[in-house]
Amino acid sequence: MRIICQQLAPAVGDEVFNHAATVAAVEDAVARGADLIVLPELCTSGYVFRDRAEVEASALGIEAPVIERWRQVLQGTEAVLVAGIPLQESDGISNAAIMLDADGVLAVYRKVHLWDEERRWFREGSEPPPVVDTRQGGIAMMVCFDLEFPEMVRGVFLQGADVIAAPTNWPAVDVPAGERQHEVHDAMTSARLSRVFIACCDRGGSERGATFAGASAIIGPDGWIRAGSESPDATSVQADVDLREARDKSTGASNDVRTDRRPDVYGGNPLLP
């Protein structure tokens, strides 16, 4: 599988620019032979909203023209696209990720763990991420802050996910020399503990005083980064991976991250649900 994360820099209020940038990014990834394409969180809208009117103006229905345009670009390929959008539904607007291929939308996931100001604009998701059996393998979606809850990754691991595609908007923070964003370390640990690939597509650029990390990373089941960005600029991250690595859950001659689990013990812990 060739995974390409297209690290864009959308801007609130510039729908024409944002939509054109996403289409160009999908076209570029298809031309480079991508099997899985990941775009950032809220890639069609930007992130730093001033008021609800801006959120409502940018919200997309599942049949929005830009989504149909993505599907058209995927025609003639077996590629799968995951993108973060503000999704308008009858009961509100969600910070969502959608998965589609040339045949149409395969799944929708609504972000469960909202970060900071997102609570003002979006309704919380209430369903766990689905694992979709695609042409490329078992793919799950999460959005940004979701990755910081180990239960989320463990849940899709138990459902047979090979890859987690995660649109993100990580704010830039100061880190010690030679280190990476906290969120990247979290994703590396989660990938290793459940032996899955995690493809985090961050956004770049600055918006209304907020600077984003541009820390996209494609992480292997061993927890190491196969390809990554440490630039806040719009860029692209690509890695060719073998999903058989994620399907092999062994961690040595005698250990396996799936069969070594002890639910009989965990269930007796009063701190666990």
DSSP state of 129: P
Residue linked to tokens 């670009």: 73
**Domain chopping of the chain, boundaries:** 2-244
The per-residue pLDDT for 271 is 66
Quick one: average pLDDT of 219-238?
Answer: 94
> What is the reported pLDDT for 272?
66
Average pLDDT over residues 215-221: 98
Distance between CA atoms of 225 and 141, rounded to whole angstroms?
A: 19
**pLDDT given for residue 273 in this prediction:** 62
pLDDT digits (tens, 9 = 90+) for 101-127: 999 999 999 999 999 999 999 999 999
Q: What is the pLDDT of residues 249-267, one digit of tens each?
A: 999 899 999 999 999 888 8
Q: Are strands 210-211 and 206-207 parallel, antiparallel or unpaired?
A: antiparallel
Residues 6+ apart with CB under 8 A from 22: 8, 39, 43, 44, 66, 70, 83
pLDDT tens for residues 81-102?
A: 999 999 999 999 999 999 999 9
* Furthest C-alpha separation in the chain: 58
At the fourth CATH level, the homologous superfamily of domain 2-244 is Carbon-nitrogen hydrolase (3.60.110.10)
Amino acid type, 190: S
